[in-house]
Structure 1
């Protein structure tokens, strides 16, 4: 028997009430208050609940003028709770999932939908749906689109088909690829049907058709190009079935991939019993041109020093892997950017939040390409570029963890060779640069050495020395190496570096009109306190116009480092939340970092910063604080 979310909630309330000492029956009025529906709805729900609990030998008692309660043994009540917990894990829709489904339903409908229709479908009260609609309207405002709300008729999106499909692509991509990394039989089983706006059967069918088409046409697509093409086709099929077609006036009649587009359309038609109009075939062609430029025999990276990418990386820093990875990515992306076709990135928000330094590098690079090609590159594309930068930074971190070591013994032969072999085998971080005799050591330049392992007494110097026997145990050797090379990265150390950037004088509680006003207010405070130079505020606002730094109720704007006098983090607690991109923000962290900061310091700062931003309880405490000193203490872990 199926239970809706409200009925599950009512059972849990009744069971919990039964477990309370000296419990009293609950009236229908009290139950209606708790779940936000009428008493009439409660009585209707009780008929379903009564049938459900009977199978567990539990009785639902309804006594006029007394109330409603549940009667049964603890063992049977536990069976009910176990069954409901399993059902909640599989069927429960959290706020985020439900809002995505409501959004996709509005996007797929050209007619008005009432709040009551949505309330009935998702088993929540009208107020919850109204909050969902407010959230969706906020997202639409950030891209200059709006909702129609007409009393007595309902809600409707007033947008053209192209915009509708672009937004649907983002929503459907998140629904599918936030749940599973790739489409296959096993992964599809993981996704619950009620959390998708497109049926699994259609996803499976179109994935199979597209896979076979790519193999036959000998095309090479990377993961995100394939995912975006798949989602485009899924949405196209759904919209065509509703009789809704794209406008073809935006495209010419190029022959590139036209034949392949007709082949793909025909295969979809035959398998799915659908007819692709001519303009939809051109739409497929557009996406094939954008995603399918590469073939196995023509993937190449022209590595030269006179291009835009090389110039940018000369200033940022790079290795061959970063350069070649970005160059291949950009070469395959240029067609998309020029045609105005965007891929979607279901991991965009996580990338922006967790890899903020890498995303900033990607933002600066994309600005150069936007200027050169007079195009617009969205955050989804930029987030993929950021992954290349983050991988490079991870490689640098790994290299920074290498302990460059020399081994010294009386002759540099014999037992020292055994010691070196053991270290190479057991300690991957330790790189042995040289094995030296005592005389060789006295002449050796140790400026690039992190650690000296010696079997004999050596003169004191600035490099850590550990003394060992040639046959030292692995455990003892491990302990000594750890003690010598462990950097001061304890939690206290992490807190200390981050805490040095927080000062109550750079924290302000104030009401502002909008996000620009928030940056201006906080920026002026930091300028007056000698943290920022004149020009920092305009710089931060320009940066936000490229890509909003807001997520949840937080925003983290920052200015160009050339405007920073002193590395600090300013804080603004906004008395009344303001719209910031797609979010309502009431807490702002202005990041002011000087140029050429050491990467290890940045990593330590951002690690602690991310811990704070992802700690919802701490953020709530900060938002409810009434003084700069209290906010400072909370940020410093006091």
Structure 2
């Protein structure tokens, strides 16, 4: 009998991890208890046919495996029994390894003999191997003269070689399989291990154990291809970026007795060293990749804000992330990212953390100039999550909220940001359309929406834009519903009495002062306080005629922001650095687009705002913003705080909702004509 692929995978799991439980197998392979039982019966029947003892299962779902099974299936001798438990996926990987590493021409017989399956099975596996190679833009070709070969760009073939070597080494008895199929001899392997140790000494670091095992095989197979004439001719590596590195100099420890290794090949091997993870380094060179440390720091700041936590000893965490992200920088930039397979099901909290990390990863992606692959964000999440566990932090107990708005992406994001400011202690997971909300997978506690929704969670109806009184009422309503009290209505004396029951107080007076200062602080993270005396500013009071500029066209988006902001600089309401901050933030913030041709660039008050102000730049022909937008109306917003401009912004949103009036502004012939339209919207029309 022949085991199915599912049965083979389960048997391989049992051999490689005997302590695995029935429940873990069910979760990993998405099986019911009955399905696992059926596979277990088939496995024991197969073991009996091959003269091996059955695997027993205890009442607690654990397994008892006879040593004879390990001896037979994990021995260096690969007979019919061990080959019979290859899954299709494993056969595909081994076929690709043979195509990449063989020193002789390969025929169909080579594959059938090595894998001990029929020709029809191999032909089917070849088709699956081609599907795998499609992702690398490579092809399997056959000719009578040269047999089976992989053809295509050599850079892509090297990427494939690195990946497949890693995958085969993860198999049960993978080292022996790799050495047998590739013909790598032990003495050559030992020699390259010594050379890699010299590289470690030269660079004052230690590669991870996994990389230390993999690197000799990869280097031997790469050099074998070079010697056979398969060389990388050109690829998008910047010579200046790699040639000055210590890793480039360290390649001499590997290549000293290899003649005629081209500069391009030496650069590729340098890149392989740079992309290899280390677990220890004598030094961390912050200058090796300019601006990497600020990018990591910005990423952590965004994560802290999204997760509503404060990371303790963050400099140590930053160093830990830097150690991982230095090699990851090169992996991502040159598309050499390893595929990391995480076993088992991920916890609910990890999924939420991962979601928040992905939302915070922007500064790193901007620095590298490419999207961050899932495997890298997952590993970053593990590092940050482990750090949080160490300091006792968790988002599990925090209130998690989503914002559901049917009025389009831009309006939804504005509502999302407003509510984040109003409830800084909540973790806001996403702003969603109604359709997205119906299929949302992450767990949440409360929903904010301007419309009624069907949900079992707490739903709070909120307008898109809230006045000061409305903000106060909404916060009070939410806090009473969730906690049964409003956080600033806390009796400090009562809190002190509770503390006395459980601990000794050294200085009660100082404790009371600190608690009162904390509970009654009047900043952005405290409860919103009602302020009836602050007058709301209308749109036409901010966008006065002096703040309106009419142009037919502008050369670039950056120039458009500078010209639009000039009136505020001349009046001393903003500093020049505020303009730079607006340009920087707009590079990765498409949510400043609030209509088909309207944008509201802005930055934080601390970036250089002296006094509240708004301007308008009208462009008849429009200016390109990113790949998707042509902008005709640019409203620069400068606010002293996070509330002062809200009333005028609400009026601006009403204007943005009228295609007729925005078109009138775009085609206006005078500033006075534009200001009349703005005056029309400078009263409550919502």
Superposition TM-score tier, normalisation by shorter sequence: 0.3 to 0.5
TM-score (normalised: structure 2): 0.40
